[in-house]
Amino acid sequence: MNRQYIKKLSYIFSKPLPFKVLRYFSDENFIFPFYHLVSDTVPLHIKHLYPVVSRQRFLSDLDFLLKHFNPATIDDVLNYVRNGKKSEKPLFFLSFDDGMRECYDIIYPILKQKGIQAAFFINPAFVDNKELFFKHKVSLIVEKLKNTNAHHIFSEISGILNAPNAHPERLTERIRQLGYANQAEINKIGVICACDFNGYLKKQQPFMTLEQIKELNDLGFHIGSHSFDHPEFRKLDEGQMRLQVAKSMAYLTKNINPGVVTFAFPFTDFEVPASFFNYLHKEAGIDITFGTAGIKKDPEIKHIQRIPMEEAGMKSAERVIRSEYAYFWMKLLFRKNTITRR
Ligand SMILES: [Zn+2]
């Protein structure tokens, strides 16, 4: 049985229970939902990555959260970590990854109006639309391939991917799986598909500018690091991981100088060794780090797991958070709700 299936099953079993009961018995009172963007149109650089939350959905998510939890500040998060991750009051703290332009255009005005603080985790490489995130490039390529049946395009791509005679669907699947280390291939495939990444970047401006980020900081929102250019940390060696953190922290210190120093792992912290957490919290001077594993107990005292809110098939915050709590219970039964690291 896969994770999604168990989650769905837990959700169905939990349905007769009032939300309060579910939350109370989980003993996890402080939750950390995170998103990337909110938009009524689906940008092509996101279309093939994850579902885009509409403005209406976001507003009803906030209504649900505000009904069952109090909004927290970054100082509350710091206290929570200092108190051994215990919270008397039900609290939520929102965060938004990748520094997308919609954070400035759509999200912050809504949060400001509702009096909710949040964190924005940024990648210095993308700020000011200097560079397109490789995953965004993949989404643009997949979109192009969906609308073509030109044989020569697929045959050139199969050459680059070393997959002779592979079926177009199989090639598209391979492209979706390309990672940080395959950026040369992604760029070559982009050329073959006539994806003008730089033109797209200039025209769409998918990311916030430094000026906008500074404005959010001045308005009392928290700005944290999401690594320099969003690699998969589990595929890096310790030196490369340190460099990603150091470069992004130097940028943040120079431009924002946040009072609380935070780092949200790009993608996931899965398979990152305990020694690196030790480095982040003890040597690199990072106050709080964040992962994306949902509601889960984490032995790292300064590390918090967040809840991904943009999961396919999950149409509301209630649905996502109910599933998380129910799944947490289920894992509790099988003693699988605590993360272990080598
Ligand atoms: Zn990210």
Domain 3-128+207-333, CATH class in plain words: alpha beta
Q: What is the mean pLDDT of residues 169-189?
A: 97
Ligand 1: centre distance to CA 98 (Å): 5
Which of 11-15, 109-113, 150-154, 185-189 is predicted least confidently?
11-15
**Residue from 216, 5, 29 nearest 127 by CA:** 216
Ligand 1: centre distance to CA 43 (Å): 16
Token pair listed for 325: 């709590």
Model confidence pLDDT, tens digit, residues 239-285: 999 999 999 999 999 999 999 999 999 999 999 999 999 999 999 99
Structure confidence at residue 93 (pLDDT): 98
CA angle 294–297–303, rounded 5-degree value: 80
Strands 70-71 and 91-92: what pairing? parallel
Token pair listed for 326: 């129910």
1: pLDDT confidence band, cut at 50, 70 and 90?
A: low
Q: What is the mean pLDDT of residues 84-110?
A: 97
Tell me the CA distances in angstroms from 6 to 1, 33, 67, 166, 263, one per residue in order: 7, 20, 27, 33, 30
55 vs 275: CA distance, rounded Å: 41
Ligand 1: centre distance to CA 224 (Å): 12
Whether 94 contacts 119, CB under 8 Å: yes
Task: Write down the domain spans for the chain.
Answer: 3-128+207-333, 134-202
Q: What is the mean pLDDT of the chain?
A: 94
**Is the confidence at residue 7, as pLDDT, over 70?**
yes
Ligand 1: centre distance to CA 80 (Å): 24
Residues above pLDDT 90, as percent of the chain? 82
Ligand 1: centre distance to CA 44 (Å): 17
DSSP 195-213: --HHHHHHHH--B--HHHH
Ligand 1: centre distance to CA 333 (Å): 31
Helix (H, G, I), strand (E, B) or coil at 26: helix
Ligand 1: centre distance to CA 41 (Å): 20
Ligand 1: centre distance to CA 71 (Å): 23
Q: What is the mean pLDDT of residues 313-336?
A: 86
Q: What is the mean pLDDT of residues 280-303?
A: 95
Ligand 1: centre distance to CA 229 (Å): 9
Helix (H, G, I), strand (E, B) or coil at 130: coil
Ligand 1: centre distance to CA 230 (Å): 6
CA dihedral (329, 226, 186, 144) in degrees, to 10, reads: 70
Query: 94 has which bridge partners?
Result: 118
Instruction: Decide: residue 10, CB within 10 A, 0-12 exposed, 13-18 middle, 19+ buried.
Output: buried
Ligand 1: centre distance to CA 25 (Å): 31
**Is the confidence at residue 37, as pLDDT, over 70?**
yes
**Is the confidence at residue 23, as pLDDT, over 80?**
yes
Model confidence pLDDT, tens digit, residues 226-240: 999 999 999 999 999
Q: What is the mean pLDDT of residues 311-319?
A: 91
Ligand 1: centre distance to CA 266 (Å): 5
214 vs 221: CA distance, rounded Å: 10
